[in-house]
């Protein structure tokens, strides 16, 4: 058995779920996160990074109250320092991680984490995963057309089965999903499981929207998670 790769990761809790590949602008104004940004830039000027973890105010147990256990590391790609000491930055989601423990002895949380990497090449070569990718892309097109009458994602989804892993993350970020469902999808152990869950969610929503066009997105949408 290969040893689990562990490392230290500064944490930035946010009220959102970030997925690998997603670009996110942030305004850094709190003193603790100014310190996090400064330390991340000093630790690795070429590829500064930290971890984004979704908050959960009702979470009392686990590795740390108030946050989920699985998040996404981000690479800082742009930094604009402002005269008042705050900063505007742009980050890009990189790799999923699981928190093993949390240290709160610094101005910001620092976690010991293990990486939750997936094999993108293997996912792309598996026929069942590629078929799920095509089905998920088709269901998302139906969903988009029911909402806007314009298929804005036609080009992005044209070769959906070429990179099922990337598609699985795009479809976590794209639909109007509750945060808790996005988090469940982020925690799926593979692109295949994530795509199957997305298909389940989108199929249900498309059916409901066609039957009851005036209804808003279902707030109680769920799926059978891995746990």
pLDDT tens per residue across span 9-50: 999 999 999 999 999 999 999 999 999 999 999 999 999 999
- Show Cβ contacts of residue 129 under 8 Å, excluding neighbours closer than 6 positions: 123, 164, 191, 192, 195
How far is it, in rounded angstroms, from Cα 2 to Cα 17? Answer: 29
- Structural domains in the chain, CATH included, are 6-115 (2.30.130.40), 120-211 (no CATH)
**Cβ pair 157, 202 in contact under 8 A:** no
69-84: pLDDT as tens digits: 999 999 999 999 999 9
- Which tokens sit at 180? 């808790």
pTM of the predicted model, to two decimals? 0.85
* 3-state secondary structure at position 131: helix
How many other CB atoms sit within 10 Å of the CB of residue 173?
A: 19
Closest CA to 170 of 23, 2, 13: 23
């Amino acid at each position: 058995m290969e040893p689990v790769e562990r490392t230290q990761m500064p944490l930035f809790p946010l009220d959102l779920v970030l997925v690998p590949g997603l670009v996110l602008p942030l305004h850094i104004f709190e003193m603790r996160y100014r310190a996090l940004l400064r330390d991340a830039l000093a630790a690795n000027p070429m590829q500064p990074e930290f971890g984004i973890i979704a908050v959960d105010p009702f979470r009392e147990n686990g590795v740390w109250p108030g946050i989920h256990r699985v998040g996404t590391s981000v690479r800082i790609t742009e930094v604009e320092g402002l005269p008042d000491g705050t900063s505007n930055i742009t980050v890009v989601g990189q790799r999923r991680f699981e928190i093993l423990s949390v240290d709160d002895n610094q101005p910001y949380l620092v976690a010991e984490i293990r990486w939750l990497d997936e094999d993108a090449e293997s996912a792309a070569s598996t026929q069942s995963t590629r078929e799920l990718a095509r089905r998920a892309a088709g269901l998302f097109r139906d969903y988009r057309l029911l909402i806007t009458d314009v298929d804005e994602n036609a080009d992005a989804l044209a070769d959906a089965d070429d990179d099922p892993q990337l598609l699985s993350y795009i479809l976590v970020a794209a639909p109007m999903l509750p945060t808790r469902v996005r988090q469940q999808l982020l925690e799926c152990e593979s692109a295949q499981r994530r795509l199957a869950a997305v298909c389940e969610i989108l199929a249900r929503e498309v059916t409901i929207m066609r039957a009851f066009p005036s209804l808003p997105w279902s707030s109680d949408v769920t799926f059978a998670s891995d746990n």
